[in-house]
Amino acid sequence: MASADVKAQDPRIAGISSAIRVIPDFPKPGIMFQDITTLLLDTKAFRDTIDLFVERYKDKNISVVAGIEARGFIFGPPIALAIGAKFVPMRKPKKLPGEVISEEYSLEYGKDVMEMHVGAVQAGERALIVDDLVATGGTLSAAIRLLERVGVHVVECACVIELPELKGRERLGEKPLFVLVS
Partner 1 sequence: MDSEETRGYRAFLKQSVWCLTSQYQVSFSFFFLFFCFVFSSWSFFFFQIWWAAGIMFQDITTLLLDHKAFKDTVDIFVDRYRDMGISVVAGIEARGFVFGPSIALAIGAKFVPLRKPNKLPGEVISEAYVLEYGTDRLEMHVGAIEPGERALVIDDLVATGGTLSAAVRLLERMGAEVVECACVVGLPEGQRRLDGKPLYILVEPRLSVNY
Q: Which residues bind partner 1 (CB under 8 A)?
A: 21, 23, 26-27, 33, 35, 37, 40-43, 46-47, 50, 69-71, 73-75, 77-78, 80-81, 84-89, 91, 95-98, 117, 120
Residue 156 among the catalytic residues: no
Residue 71 among the catalytic residues: yes
134 closest CA partner among 159, 155, 111 = 159
- Catalytic residue (one of 69, 91, 103, 108): 108
Classified as helix, coil or strand, 45 is helix
- CB neighbour class for 182 (10 Å; exposed up to 12, middle 13-18, buried from 19): middle
Q: How far is the CB of 2 from partner 1 (least distance, A)?
A: 24
Q: How far is the CB of 18 from partner 1 (least distance, A)?
A: 16
Contact 49, 16 (CB under 8 A): yes
Q: How far is the CB of 138 from partner 1 (least distance, A)?
A: 19
* CA 59/CA 115 separation, integer angstroms: 28
**Catalytic residue numbers, as ranges:** 71, 108
